[in-house]
Amino acid sequence: MEQPKLETRSKKIIEVDGYQFKDLNGNGKLDPYEDWRLPYEERAKDLVSRMTLDEKVGNMLINTRRTGYNTPEGGKTSYDGIIDEEIIEQGETIFAMRKVWGTSHTIENLHIRHFILRDNFSPTKLARWNNAMNEIAEGTRLGIPTLVTSNPRNDNGEFVFGMNDAMGVFSTFPATMGIAAAVLGEKALGKDGRIFSEYARAACAEWRASGLRKGYMYMADVVTDPRWQRTYGTFGEDPELISDAMERIIEGFQGDELGPESVSLTTKHYPGGGPRENGFDPHYVEGKWNVYRTPGSLDKYHMPGFRAAIKSASMMPYYSAPSIEKSVVQHIDGIDVPFEEVGFTFNWYLIEEVLRRRMGYKGYINSDSGVTDNMNWGVEDLERPGRFAKAVNAGTDLIADTNNVEDLKAAVEQGMISMERIDEANYRLLMEMFQLGLFDEQTYVDAEAADDIVKNSPGWKLADEVHRKSIVLMKNSNKTLPLAEGTKVYVQMWHKKPETSEQKTAEAREQIGAVDGLILVDKPEEADALYLMVDPQSGDYFNATPGLLELTICENKPLRAVDGTEYTETTVTGAEEFKQMAREGRERGQKVIISVNYSLAWIIDDVEPLADALIGTFHSFFDAQGEVIAGKFKPQGKMPITPPGTEAAIHVDENGICVSPNDVPGYDKQQYMPEGLDYAWTDTDGNVYKLGHGLTYED
């Protein structure tokens, strides 16, 4: 048996039978949980038996933790500014409602070991922080290490708290729908989904170098309601593609089984967040319901991705609750599902009966953030100890984003949760730590090497390739593209925020202007071709819009709220300027190329006719877009979603029922549409913008 390389910072290393072991509890002898020769299962059971109730309760919570690098100037830190020790009297987000203690107190006294990282610093800085966190943990009674998780860090896009917290430090790929578009293009060429696998393997090494060993990723959700804010972050609407993505990505990050070389993944959001009630998000009360109006939709469309993710280290249930009143009876494996109108974190049947017993899931259940405070749909009337009890007794093992050890402990002391169930949850959580090697050779990482490891990652080259492959040529009238050598091009971008429009236009002009064969000009009138980009934004991730989420390209559009009042909405500031520039370009005989960034399923019925060529992007790099329009790279991406063609295709009547079903993906909605109404858009060239659409220069 090979001796692992062990490192300690405060506890001693002891020698037994010629081997070295960490004396994590400082008792001077080798205990089973310290013995790396024993099976993980035996070590985890032994450690659970040694833990106090306070330690067990703390281990069942995961909380956002700021680094010392992000502490306000003059704030309290330790470890030379690496560790944040600030005390915040009231949580600053909708997730964290309670007093936030400094890092050392949280680890030593609250006994919390699981943390969510949202800060965006260099790999070496993150590694130093992870090492310092574990040094604090090593000094505690049992020396249980910390485990830090993060939302995706390899996606390009815009910073959105809770969804896209960090980017640009690790190898940077297009948004997940862009990766899906690239893979669909590969498959259309007779290839397979290797991009998913290669991406995961490269990203895994980058994360491990930084000390990040757990990821809240990826989403196995199928997009079925186009107004859903989380469309961004999915792999689109195709259950088959999503299943392939989940299998390959989990294998790439975790390996054949979880081990010291793995980054463990939490697949979300079981059993699928797509069937929104007209797009409203469950971060707010208007979106609390999942609605299944279509017979068989749950099993046919929403479950396949989670079946494919069965090897994921953990699963995250969604906030939402299934509506009995607004849904038809659903079945899984031919058996009726007895819906309980509580959030899926609290839903015993779907977790214990379906996921664990029938599907054979062996990992643990990690709730979404804030389920015992704000997003507690269906259990609002319970006091907090009761909410904890409902979740834990339903099979949830780790409660996110809270440090509320008091109410979870109270639920146990009041007999609402059995010690047997508490021990079961702790066993599952500790098993992950043992498998990842955190008790042994993987507690600390070489922080000084982290920057170079990430800098030299093969992920960067692969990401550049995927950005190009992600771009979808949606329309190409009269072979407008590729542009001829020496074409004079005017470039401009429009965003909802004027300052972002200005910044992104400058970046786009610099990168596209550097593409061989294109000549950048400063005024539209001077150009042979106009390259006009729109990056629409709609709604707020954490707050409901007054009415339904707007999907058109508009500015100050008059709308009517749910309560009948009038308001206006803007998805692109300067939308009319953009459209007018396109019209004038057509009138001057210039080629007009329009690029639409698909973070949501935008309706472009009044945009597409203005374009000679139309491309779809997914936060794809500007230089990649430039190479495609210049013919330096032949487009091959395919649409991963079917955007609604018109507002009529997603009209909601006075009873709140959408003309196209909320629980069916776009590629299959047409069979449910009223006669004479199409769901997908057909452009002026006859192209239908549906799942898998994408032209090439040979078409």
Active site residues: 238, 368
Task: Quote the tokens at residue 346.
Answer: 């609290």
Q: Is residue 564 packed enough to be buried (19+ CB in 10 Å), middle (13-18) or exposed (0-12)?
A: exposed
- Cα–Cα distance for residue pair 662/668, rounded to 1 Å: 11
Interacting residues of 415 by C-beta distance below 8 A, sequence separation 6+: none
- Cα–Cα distance for residue pair 58/405, rounded to 1 Å: 6
Task: Quote the tokens at residue 110.
Answer: 């609250």
HEC string of 31-96 equals CHHHCCCCCHHHHHHHHHHHCCHHHHHHHCEEEECCEHHHCCCCCCEECCCCEECCCECCCCCCCC
φ, ψ of residue 367 in degrees (nearest 5): -65, 165
Amino acid (1-letter code) at residue 355 = L
- Cα–Cα distance for residue pair 556/4, rounded to 1 Å: 63
Task: Quote the tokens at residue 80.
Answer: 């030379």
Closest by CA to 113, choosing from 165, 67, 56, 151, is 56
- Cα–Cα distance for residue pair 482/479, rounded to 1 Å: 7
- Cα–Cα distance for residue pair 297/349, rounded to 1 Å: 18
- Cα–Cα distance for residue pair 671/648, rounded to 1 Å: 16
Q: Are 688 and 680 in contact (CB under 8 A)?
A: yes
Strand partners, 566: 560
DSSP summary character for residue 685? T
Using only the alpha carbons of the chain, give its radius of gyration.
Answer: 26
Say how many C-beta atoms besides its own lie within 10 A of residue 641's C-beta: 26
Amino acid (1-letter code) at residue 580 = Q
Strand partners, 567: 559
C-alpha distance across the termini of the chain, in Å: 60
- Cα–Cα distance for residue pair 30/18, rounded to 1 Å: 13
Q: What does the DSSP assignment read for 633-683?
A: S------SS---SSGGGG-B-TTS-BSS-TTS-GGGGGGGSPTT--SSEE-
Q: Is residue 692 packed enough to be buried (19+ CB in 10 Å), middle (13-18) or exposed (0-12)?
A: middle
- Cα–Cα distance for residue pair 648/674, rounded to 1 Å: 11
- Cα–Cα distance for residue pair 9/23, rounded to 1 Å: 12
- Cα–Cα distance for residue pair 466/462, rounded to 1 Å: 6
Give the position of tokens 């990430």.
454
Q: Are 56 and 422 in contact (CB under 8 A)?
A: yes
Q: Are 165 and 120 in contact (CB under 8 A)?
A: yes
CA atoms within 13 A of residue 72's CA, in its CB half-sphere: 4
HEC string of 391-432 equals HHHCCCCEEECCCCHHHHHHHHHCCCCCHHHHHHHHHHHHHH
